[in-house]
Amino acid sequence: MYPRSAPGKSRHFYHVSDDAGQRCSNGGESETHERAVARVEVALHQQFGENARIETEVDVDVAEVPTPVTERRADALATFDDWNPYFGEGLAVEVQHNHEDKDVHQVTHDYLAAGYSVVWIRAATVLLDTFNYDTIGAEFEQDDSSGYAQRTSKASRFTNCQALLYDGEHAWERVPPYAHPRGQEDLITYDICTAQGCELRRLHEPDGSYTYTASDEHGPDFPLKALKNAIVREYDRDPFWKWAGSQYHSAQVEKLLATRPEIERCRGPKGFHEWGRRETLWTNHSDQPLIELRECMYCPVRLVTNHRGRSGHSTFCLYGREPNLDWDDVYFQASPPECDHYLYDEDVIEDYCPKCGATMESSNTTLRDHTSWIPP
């Protein structure tokens, strides 16, 4: 709206018709939305008035939900005096009109995760003469409807994060501060979710709380190719960029920094090790290298990589000096501080622990026989 005056007329506001007004909904649309919200408010009062607080244009606190915002503004909200076994903390009604710009998927997730139910309903439907609360309630009874209740809907259904969908929690990993070319002073400590499709970041506040954001403004600003010599791959058949794309579809640099064990602090120009000369210590029957020794190009640190175990159980050991190559090759898998000993299938016979290298008492026993090793 813009103010203006004209001869013979009082000062008033008008809607612009130029490019500056392209994002401004016209008065009719705003009025329609307001009238629809008012009718929803009446319907909620009639249904829940004695047991709930009814408000319009009210902010719902979602600060505890891992989401980039801390509040969601509901068109109409019924907040119950006590936990409702069907709707939870309350019922949010979102009235959609022609220029609705809310992210329905994300907003639905945030309401459900914060303990609220939500229903999406068209303004034209609300303004019908037959509208009452039954119209809202019907949206929770149909499989393809737009009503999502606490008792029947899970927030994880409305997320693009695979970890949250299947495990109920984001796959948080710390992005190392030493991998920031801008320096190490006053860097923000943060984690990134390493699940496919998710770019949520969790910033650590001084009081121990978290702030969530989807922005990469706090992340490293170097290109993906800068990690080419810092990452050790079991097979180098695919170009590095293609391999990285198969690992992570988005935020590749941050997620690789957070998950690759061979990326550690170094005095080199990038702040982390870059691996040069390598020596094969162990091959498989096809002469493919399974255990290799690598040297950092900028410092005396050595890296032993062991891909001899099962997929996903490869071991990376950093040494500040040249390791003794006469050591048993199993030793290069050692990581005792982290070992709880794997438990494989009953029928699998193991003569050593593939994680820490501990040797079994005999060659025909399984790790399941060593119950004293199983952590409580």
According to CATH, where is 3.90.1570 located in the chain?
32-159
Q: Give 348's strand partners.
A: none
Residue given tokens 């025909």 in the structure block: 364
| pLDDT the model gives residue 321 | 67
Q: What is the DSSP string of 3-25?
A: EEEETTEEEEEE---SGGGTTSP
pLDDT in tens, 250-264: 899 999 999 998 998
Question: Using CA atoms, how far apart are residues 108 and 155, in angstroms rounded to an integer?
Answer: 7
| pLDDT the model gives residue 218 | 84
Q: What is the DSSP string of 79-112?
A: EEEEEETTTEEEEEEEEE-TT----HHHHHHHHH
Task: Looking at the chain, list the stretches that DSSP marks H as alpha helix, in order from N- to C-terminal side.
Answer: 27-48, 104-113, 123-126, 133-138, 162-167, 240-247, 252-259
| pLDDT the model gives residue 336 | 42
| pLDDT the model gives residue 78 | 96
C-alpha closest to that of 271 among 230, 316, 306, 311: 230
Average pLDDT, the chain: 78
Residue 100's Cβ-count burial label (10 Å; 0-12, 13-18, 19+) is middle
Residue 152's Cβ-count burial label (10 Å; 0-12, 13-18, 19+) is exposed
Position 245, amino acid: G
122-126, 275-279, 316-320: range with lowest mean pLDDT: 316-320
At 43, the pLDDT band (50, 70, 90 cuts) reads very high
Q: Is the pLDDT of residue 233 over 60?
A: yes
Class of domain 32-159: alpha beta
Percent of the chain with pLDDT over 70: 73
**The pair of three-digit structure tokens given for residue 49, joined into one six-digit string:** 């008035």
pLDDT in tens, 60-99: 999 888 888 889 999 999 999 999 999 999 999 999 876 5
CB neighbour list of residue 91: distance below 8 Å, 6 or more residues apart: 44, 48, 77, 78, 84, 116, 117, 118, 119
Q: Is the pLDDT of residue 156 over 70?
A: yes
pTM passes above 0.85:
no
Q: What are phi and psi of 106, to 5 degrees?
A: -70, -40
Averaged pLDDT, 149-168 = 86
pLDDT in tens, 329-346: 555 544 444 445 444 444
Question: Using CA atoms, how far apart are residues 29 and 32, in angstroms rounded to an integer?
Answer: 5
